[in-house]
Amino acid sequence: MCQNDEIITGRNSVMEALKSGRAVNKILVIKGEKYGSIREIISQARAMGLVVQEVDGTKLDQMSGGTKHQGVAAMVAPVSYVEMEDILANATNHNETPFLVLLDELNDPHNVGAILRTADAAAVHGVLIPKRRSCPLTQVVAKTSAGAVEHVPVARIGNVSQTLESLKKQGLWVVGADMDGEKNYYEADLTGPIVLVVGNEGEGMGRLTKEACDFLVRIPMRGKITSLNASVACSLLMYEVLRQREVKGQ
């Protein structure tokens, strides 16, 4: 779990955060507390598609810093998330070819922050992050991004494969970064509407995610190490998209 979110504790405070539309990453409830206002909070959070996790009381005690948590806490992002449709609409409104990046189960906030920083420089329209098994926006992500988190829209998505199928139906090509790619990344045509998919730091993309890609590209490795840091690999690919688009005058 990524740390350094803003922590909101207490039943009334957490419920108000949910009702106000704050960018909540996760709801934590003490094990066994599923009655009264806690039940209402859980119901509201799940209706909003948020992750609800049961934890030990000692965990909440540590996170709350001594304040009375009343068995519940909300981990809040430093900036608000957007909807994926808003990202696409923004590209369309500016008569630009959509360029999205999807991070498939990246867990290191430093990698996520570094990717956001490069995404801003490479004219990426927005970044997609799964709601589960991925690092959300945290203070560490924000700091590592050097302010880019304020400028690069980030949307949280549910099922990755379904999201990619939806994007394909809207005309985007799904390109995955994988060592088994058919071509080197600089040999592929990356000038069209595109969503670039990068897998996690250890295992890469999941099987279903890989199968949802239109094609895979690889980064040639000539040394002893067989893979690059996720943020470095993603940066190479983002700048290749930018390079190809500038060559074509897009």
Give yes or no: residues 101 and 219 share one domain: yes
Rounded-to-integer distance, Cα 76 and Cα 5, Å = 6
CATH number at residue 28: 3.30.1330.30
pLDDT at 5: 59
In angstroms, how far is the first alpha carbon of the chain from the final one?
A: 39
Burial-class residue 201 by CB neighbours within 10 Å (0-12, 13-18, 19+): middle
Give yes or no: residues 59 and 109 share one domain: no
Give yes or no: residues 237 and 184 share one domain: yes
Strands 99-103 and 194-198: parallel
Spell out a b/e string for 112-132, using b for 16 or more CB atoms within 10 Å of the CB, else e.
bbbbbbbbbebebbbbbbbbe
Q: Where does a domain end: 42, 60, 76?
A: 76
Contacts of 228 (CB under 8 A, 6+ apart): 219, 221, 236
Domain of residue 18, residue span? 6-76
* 27 in a structural domain: yes
Count the Cβ atoms, other than its own, within 10 Å of residue 80: 11
CATH number at residue 239: 3.40.1280.10
What pTM was estimated for this model as a whole? 0.81
**Do 14 and 27 form a contact (C-beta atoms < 8 A)?**
yes
pLDDT at 137: 86
- Mean pLDDT per segment of 10 residues, for the chain of length 250 residues? 66 86 86 81 89 86 78 86 94 94 92 95 95 85 88 93 95 92 93 93 84 93 81 94 89
Q: Where does a domain end: 34, 60, 76?
A: 76
* 221 in a structural domain: yes
Give yes or no: residues 115 and 135 share one domain: yes
pLDDT at 17: 84
* 125 in a structural domain: yes
**CA separation, residue 220 to residues 142, 181, 225 (Å):** 31, 10, 11
* 1 in a structural domain: no
Rounded-to-integer distance, Cα 151 and Cα 60, Å = 32
